[in-house]
């Protein structure tokens, strides 16, 4: 005579559920990583466009004169044209492409030029 009921899951059923969950996690990790990379890339390109727009505004307000290097560009832009220098979400550094059209463009050490 049994006192308890036979309700519940067997060990095999629990192992199957754990295997299915593990397979789903294994499939989700690469997808998440790819999405994260694309989001960082787009945010970086947006930062580059903001810097380029600020440089163009600076040049328009200074008779077409562009800053000569990265340090001068960043000191000329803050705070009149941008509030702060944006940072690459992937940890890259922004640099100036010398002689680029239109006279000055920024590039990222991780993502390149937009």
Mean pLDDT of the chain: 85
Residue 74 domain-assigned (yes or no): yes
Domains held by the chain: number: 1
3-state secondary structure of 66: coil
Q: Is residue 82 part of a domain?
A: yes
More confident residue, 44 or 101: 44
Q: 34 lies in a domain?
A: yes
Q: Rounded to two decimals, what is the model's pTM?
A: 0.68
pLDDT reading at 103 higher than 90? no
State how far the alpha carbon of 75 is from the alpha carbons of 67, 70, 71, 78, in Å.
Answer: 9, 9, 6, 6
Could you list the residue range(s) of the whole structural domain that residue 54 is in?
Answer: 11-108
* pLDDT band of 98, cuts 50, 70, 90: low
In a domain, 15, yes or no: yes
CATH number, domain at 52?
Answer: 3.30.1300.80
Is 4 domain-assigned? no
pLDDT digits (tens, 9 = 90+) for 12-65: 999 999 999 999 999 989 888 889 889 999 999 999 888 888 888 888 888 888
């Amino acid at each position: 005579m049994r006192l308890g009921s036979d309700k519940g899951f067997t060990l095999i059923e629990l192992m199957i559920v754990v295997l299915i969950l593990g397979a789903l996690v294994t499939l989700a990790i690469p997808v998440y990583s790819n999405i994260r990379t694309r989001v960082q890339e787009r945010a970086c390109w947006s930062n580059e466009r903001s810097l380029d727009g600020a440089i163009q505004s600076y040049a328009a307000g200074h008779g077409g004169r562009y800053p000569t290097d990265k340090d001068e560009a960043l000191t000329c832009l803050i705070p009149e044209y941008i509030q702060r220098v944006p940072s690459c979400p992937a940890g890259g550094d922004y640099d100036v492409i010398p002689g680029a059209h239109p006279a000055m463009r920024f590039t990222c050490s991780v993502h390149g030029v937009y």
